[in-house]
Structure 1
Amino acid sequence: MNDLMENAEDLVILVDESDLEVGLLEKMSAHEEGLLHRAFSVFIFNSNGGLLLQRRALDKYHSPGLWSNTCCSHPRKGETTLAACSRRLGEEMGLKCNLDFAFSFIYRAEFGNGLIEHEFDHVYFGKTDELPEINPDEVMDWKYISMKELQQEVLLHPENYTEWLKICLPRVIEHLVN
């Protein structure tokens, strides 16, 4: 087995602006160079319409301790984005539920530690009333929040939330309304 396949979990799929694969690169290198790569964000809602947020673990390589959507990561080579969403939802939050594609968007955000997120992000929604069983290596806390309260909190305290959540929140709300 070659080195790339042995460390598949450390690689991201580089893409063009149409989400066509153009290569593979080690995750940290992609974030240091700010290269566009495939990612996903999962938003889980309960039957009351509350959104399950996670607070990222303090050991995360960027955005530690910030509140974010339920789960996010990168698919592996040969893995569908939907399969990657289900895998990471289980690994991070201990949850399983049906997921539906909502929309995609491209964003670029620079962090104070020199890392750059430049992602073609696929957004999926799911619904469950199960309570998460968090992986403390990934998540330090969780809570359900109404969309109205989240909008207010992001306006009042944007420093407490991840960049990608703030960027895609209007599209999430728009998608929920339509």
Structure 2
Amino acid sequence: MPQTDTAELVVLLDDDGRTIGSAPKAQVHHASTPLHLAFSCYLFDDAGRVLLTRRAVHKRTFPGIWTNTCCGHPAPGEALQDAVTRRVREELGVGITDLRCVLPDFRYRAVAADGVVENEVCPVFCGRAVGQVHPDRDEVADHVWVPWQHMRAAAEFGWAISPWAAEQVPLLDAAGIGHRD
């Protein structure tokens, strides 16, 4: 069930990935970020290219960095697939077909240059974009469709894309995702 409060909440987790509560997103990301639930999504077009986005420069975590198509947090009680569909529509203005969870157990911790920590259980989804991209500039500074091999090359240089995408790309490769190139 989606939240009705205006404050975006994130689902807090224990070390075993069990829900232990929720907290306002604005209060969660700091130097001691608690483990919480998130998701990553990679969308492909009919040519097999993947949509990369550049995070808005005012974002709290990893501002201005290039990353996968969309990341976000499900609201308490919201199904992950519903959250992915919602955030992709809100951030990029596109729909999704063939959405599937390809890395259900992905978990990472990353520290930004300013000391802000991401600490997430972050299942990874892939799907196909439907429609033209119309990004919300409060979320996405830029976007580009690239062949998967460009994403793979960016992941080899950890500084070129977000730390979570740099970790996810080799795992996606191993799972056979993006091999239309």
Give the TM-score taking structure 2 as reference length: 0.87
Determine the structure 2 residue equivalent to 1:20. Answer: 18
Q: Partner of 1:151: helix, strand, or coil?
A: helix
Q: How many residues align?
A: 173
Q: Which amino acid aligns with 2:65?
A: L
Structure 1 unaligned segments of length 5 or more: list them. none
CA contact (8 A) 1:8 1:77 kept: no
- Between structures 1 and 2, the one with greater helix share: 1
Give CA deviations for 1:111-140 in whole Å, capped at 9, x if unaligned. Answer: 122211000001111113633111111111
**RMSD of aligned residue pairs (Cα, Å):** 1.9
1:117 aligns with 2:118: yes
Amino acid at match of 1:16: D
Query: Quick one: percent identity of the two aligned structures?
Result: 32
**Secondary structure at 1:176 match in 2:** coil
Cα distance, 1:8 vs. partner? 4.4
Where 1:25 maps in the other structure, the secondary structure is strand
Asked if 1 retains the 8 angstrom alpha-carbon contact of 2:39 and 2:71, the reply is yes
Work out the CA distance in 2 between the residues paired with 1:167 and 1:51. Answer: 16
Q: Is the 8 A contact 1:47 1:129 kept in 2?
A: no
Give how far 1:110 is off: 1.0
- Corresponding letter in the other structure for 1:62: T
> Residue 159 of structure 1 aligns to a residue in which SS?
coil
Superposition pairs of residues 6-155 of structure 1, within 5 angstroms? 6-9=5-8, 11-32=9-30, 33-98=32-97, 99-103=99-103, 104-128=105-129, 130-155=131-156
Q: Give the distance between the partners of 2:4 and 2:127, measured in 1 at CA.
A: 30
Contact (CA 8 Å) 1:44, 1:70: kept in 2 or not?
Answer: yes
Separation (CA, whole Å) in 2 of partners of 1:31 and 1:125: 25
> For the residues of structure 2 that align with 1:89 and 1:100, how far apart are their CA atoms?
14
Quick one: distance in 1 between partners of 2:6 and 2:54? 27
**What residue ranges of structure 2 are gaps of 5+ in the alignment?**
none
Q: Distance in 2 between matches of 1:16 and 1:147?
A: 34
TM-score (norm 1): 0.89
- 2:114 partner amino acid: N
Q: Give the C-alpha shift of residue 174 in structure 1.
A: 1.6
